[in-house]
Amino acid sequence: MKLKLLTICVLTSLSSAFGSTIVPKPVSEAPASGKFRLSGSSEIIYNNEQLAPLAGYLKEYLDPAVGATLTTELRDEQPIKAKSGQILLLLDPSLDTPAEGYNLKVSRQAVTLTGKDYGGVFNGIETLLQLMPTEIYAKKFIASKINVGCTVINDYPRFSYRGMMLDVARTFVPAEGVKAYIDKLAHHKINKFHWHLTDDEGWRIQLKSHPEMAEIGGFRGGDSPVKSIYGEWDKKYGGYYTQDEIRDVVAYAAVRNIEVIPEIELPGHSRTAARVHPEILCDYTPDLTATGGYDRRSAWCASKESNYELLDEIISEVCTLFPSKYFHVGGDEVVMEQWLTCPHCRAMMEEMGTDDPHRIEDYFMSRIEQILKKNGKIPAVWNEAINGGQLSKTTRVHGWKDVAACLKATSEGFSTIVMPGAYFYFDMRQSPIEAGHNWAGIFDVSKCYSFDFEKEGFTEENMKNVAGVQAAFWSEAHISNGAYSTDFVEYQTFPRLCALAEIGWTPQELRSYDDFNSRIRGQHQDRMAAMNIHFRMFPPTVEYKDGIITATAPSEGAEIRYTSDGKDIPTVDSPLYTGPIEADTAAALRYQFRAFYRTGVSATVPATPLADSLIKPSFRLMTSFEELEKSPYSIVEEYKTFCRTGRTPMSGDWVMYLFDEPVDCRSMQLITGFWELPAYQFITGYVEVSYDGHSFERVCDLDKGRITIYPDEGKLIYGVRVVCTTDTNGYANIFIHYPRIKPRK
């Protein structure tokens, strides 16, 4: 008894001393004393040909780390006994663990990794890499001999589906960027990559049967018939994947135990497809006046037989490129007015004896299901697609809207991927001052981690239909944050994805935010840096009290840098914060701080909270537009929120702010459109300021619909006029906001 107690004590003290930092946390882990020594003479032995790619994968990390070429060898004799210095990768379908489970034993002599299946061995390798120095991911020399702490880990996933969705339709990410992203997901044991390949703003997949879909639909702006809605209106931009690139990405993901699930959005979100093939639309003349000639219709007509023929050709071809059993066919946010206005769709509804357009969607989806079935595939859809009540139960549902949508799908017997936006939409902002959407909430990794099925009302019955969890990155707002680079995607994804990965992998009872938090602020941050992930750091804490600004780093080793001009945001080259800074109230308003740690960077934090530093002088709003009764200018004049104009803007239109009293300010920001999303704005334009109450002088051009002006000391602003220089923005109106004004003192 005494001995047993002692062993437990030793084990616990060892485990806390070594403090496993693995993400996602394994089911069971028993660290022991001693170390396995990895060196150039270590060998990777595997017992099944299937594991050859994994032996190669592991070697890609180990060889450069020890500066040698490790021998790999297939030995199919049974049983294999580990010899000194060997790393054994064993496939054993009889292993007593769920699919993708593994046992990993690191002893002084050898490493034995036994997986239930290919995925199990892959997951074990990811764990093994996390036991090594964090620099292992950088694929560079660490030392000729590397110690790996002895341990025994028995581990398996909570859910068979642990996914991430990337929207490459709104903002194109080249194939190399997609592969790099997949690599980073794989290190977190994510096993599904949902590739959102088409949407209103782009068609990203090459088709041999219909090359025009990507060759025309892959580009928007400029002379493309696909008009820009978000982004860079005046120039043509975009891209698409060739079929070779698609096959390459699929194969790359497969080595990393990731199944790629393609999505072709249907029947809505199809404006691009409709620009390339206008004949797919319903048969009526759209009202183009409000949007200055942009045809915003986006749904495939459900009554045209030729549409199903075209879709058969497209879908059947796409099916040949993806081995996945599942094929996502969209089904969200269909603008049903188009069907209600179409004489042929109306006739169809009459024949069906209904006036509910959802029945049309059911019909459309059932035709798509037949096409998929013929190709041996199962449909996956967004949660709205089940609202008609007729969809076949083999369909897999992605519950995105909210938890209620997930509960509905699981209760109705659909296999469901749980991905409510309020927890798992990584296009949402991580704090009020950061970039991104906010419709599903503003949240950082802690909210994401807090997702708990039981607390959200999932019963045991519901849970039987939960296939797993997924997060999503939608990219319509990405264009304004450095398109074509995945830095912003990564900033939005990590560390929130670490939380998602742990929810998908680790049993609920083993999860604790405190423990997770210390892992991701600690060693996992180094791992992410070595993986070259441009992750989001937690922001520094900044306080201003009694004339002194004090900043505290969010984690050990993080640097804080600052600017003091009230304009520029701190970069790696800005002055380093080394201790409290003395500043009077006026100066303090100009200080901004930011945390940096290797590849990680935080949001910019002002020394005094933003709201405190805004002033709200009274003004009158005048425009060249007719006022919308539902959205009066008084909303803006009272600093409530934004209002809309009655029509799309044309060149020469203007918005003017006339102040009751001249304003003395350090800066004034003027915003047309959504400030985090380049839409509903003056696409191009300039700003005029009146410094005397009589005349206006042109001071600067708008940048993505907005601009900040910094009047010289002593200059008072009587009025500001924002002038548009482009006809229309594709929307029926613009959004007008109140000016955001910072006091001079």
Binding site for ligand TNX (CB under 6 A): 332-333, 382, 400, 425, 427, 437, 474, 476
Cα–Cα–Cα angle for 385, 386, 389, rounded to 5 degrees: 130
Decide whether 86 or 198 has the Cβ nearer to ligand TNX.
198
Q: State the minimum distance, in angstroms, from the CB of residue 322 to ligand TNX.
A: 20
Residues in the chain: 745
Decide whether 259 or 476 has the Cβ nearer to ligand TNX.
476
| Inter-residue contact 273 to 314 (CB < 8 Å) | no
Neighbours of 387 (CB within 10 A): 16
Of all helices (H) and strands (E), which one includes residue 259? strand 259-266
Q: Tell me the residue number closest to ligand TNX, measured at CB.
A: 474
Q: How far is CA 709 from CA 286, 562, 713, 716, 720, in A?
A: 40, 21, 12, 12, 10
Helix (H, G, I), strand (E, B) or coil at 155: strand
Distance CA 23, CA 124 (A): 12
Q: Cβ contacts of residue 599 below 8 Å, gap of 6+?
A: 528, 529, 532, 533, 534, 535
Decide whether 189 or 192 has the Cβ nearer to ligand TNX.
192
Tokens coding 586? 């006026």
Cis peptide bond upstream of 323, omega within 30 = no
Tokens coding 708? 């900040």
Q: State the minimum distance, in angstroms, from the CB of residue 477 to ligand TNX.
A: 8
| Inter-residue contact 273 to 213 (CB < 8 Å) | yes
Decide whether 215 or 332 has the Cβ nearer to ligand TNX.
332
Q: State the minimum distance, in angstroms, from the CB of residue 441 to ligand TNX.
A: 11
Decide whether 119 or 217 has the Cβ nearer to ligand TNX.
217
Q: Cβ contacts of residue 700 below 8 Å, gap of 6+?
A: 686, 687, 707, 709
Q: State the minimum distance, in angstroms, from the CB of residue 299 to ligand TNX.
A: 14
Q: Phi and psi (nearest 5°) for 289?
A: -65, -45
Decide whether 131 or 178 has the Cβ nearer to ligand TNX.
178
Secondary structure (DSSP) of 344-376: HHHHHHHHHT---THHHHHHHHHHHHHHHHHTT
Q: State the minimum distance, in angstroms, from the CB of residue 255 to ligand TNX.
A: 29
Q: State the minimum distance, in angstroms, from the CB of residue 332 to ligand TNX.
A: 4
Q: How far is CA 476 from CA 57, 168, 228, in A?
A: 34, 9, 11
Distance CA 298, CA 328 (A): 18
Residue with tokens 């910072």: 742
Decide whether 416 or 564 has the Cβ nearer to ligand TNX.
416
Q: How far is CA 587 from CA 275, 276, 566, 576, 603, in A?
A: 53, 55, 9, 18, 21
Q: Cβ contacts of residue 373 below 8 Å, gap of 6+?
A: none
Decide whether 296 or 437 has the Cβ nearer to ligand TNX.
437
The radius of gyration of the chain's CA atoms, rounded to the nearest angstrom, is: 29
Decide whether 334 or 601 has the Cβ nearer to ligand TNX.
334
Q: State the minimum distance, in angstroms, from the CB of residue 492 to ligand TNX.
A: 11
Q: State the minimum distance, in angstroms, from the CB of residue 397 to ligand TNX.
A: 11
Tokens coding 495? 């560390």
Q: State the minimum distance, in angstroms, from the CB of residue 331 to ligand TNX.
A: 8
Decide whether 182 or 677 has the Cβ nearer to ligand TNX.
677
Q: Phi and psi (nearest 5°) for 257?
A: 60, 30
| Inter-residue contact 639 to 708 (CB < 8 Å) | no
Decide whether 231 or 719 has the Cβ nearer to ligand TNX.
231
Q: State the minimum distance, in angstroms, from the CB of residue 575 to ligand TNX.
A: 37
Q: State the minimum distance, in angstroms, from the CB of residue 268 to ligand TNX.
A: 9
Q: State the minimum distance, in angstroms, from the CB of residue 171 to ligand TNX.
A: 11
Distance CA 547, CA 551 (A): 13
Decide whether 114 or 493 has the Cβ nearer to ligand TNX.
493
